[in-house]
Amino acid sequence: MHRDTFLLMPLNELLRACTLKGYQGSGPGGQHRNKTNTGVCLKLNQYNLEIKSSESRSACENKTHALHRMQMALALEVREEPLPPEKLKFPGSQGRIQTSNPLFPLFIAQVLDIVYVNKGDTKPAALAFNLTPTALTRILHLNKGVVEKIRIMREAGGKRKLRI
């Protein structure tokens, strides 16, 4: 299945596509956290991605956190051939997008695909989404993992560090 298919799935369908394991969380939280399996480990075998979550004392909340992290892990780690610019649409408005937007991971994945093909250059990605390079850079800086991935791509392409 294509990466973008996983990124567009509702969370309950993504959960069905993953292997789910529970484990005992550690740290503060007392008896409820230390004696119950509220920690969640999700594994997506197709891409060999494993995500753990145990911040909350609720298994349901940990599952939701892990699913959101799985989407971002897919966006950060799995590269596909970029779509042609006419098929790309910016999911935000006025050059801004919130990380809580359900289409944020897909947008980041598509941006990283273009940046990867262009050896770390972010301008073609900005143009593909009809954004200014500065607006795209601000969006990329919303997530530390995205900034680190861009830094690695730019370094491999012999480009200088990305600035705001």
Residue range 101-128, pLDDT digits in tens: 999 999 999 999 999 999 999 999 999 9
Question: What are the domain boundaries of the chain?
Answer: 3-77, 85-156
Q: Predicted confidence band at 87 (pLDDT cuts at 50, 70, 90)? A: very high
- CA–CA distance, 17 with 32 (Å, rounded to integer): 29
CATH number of 3-77, picked from 3.40.30.10, 1.10.260.40, 3.40.50.1820, 3.30.160.20: 3.30.160.20
Confidence (pLDDT) at 38: 81
Structure tokens at 67: 């699913």
Query: 33 pLDDT exceeds 60?
Result: no
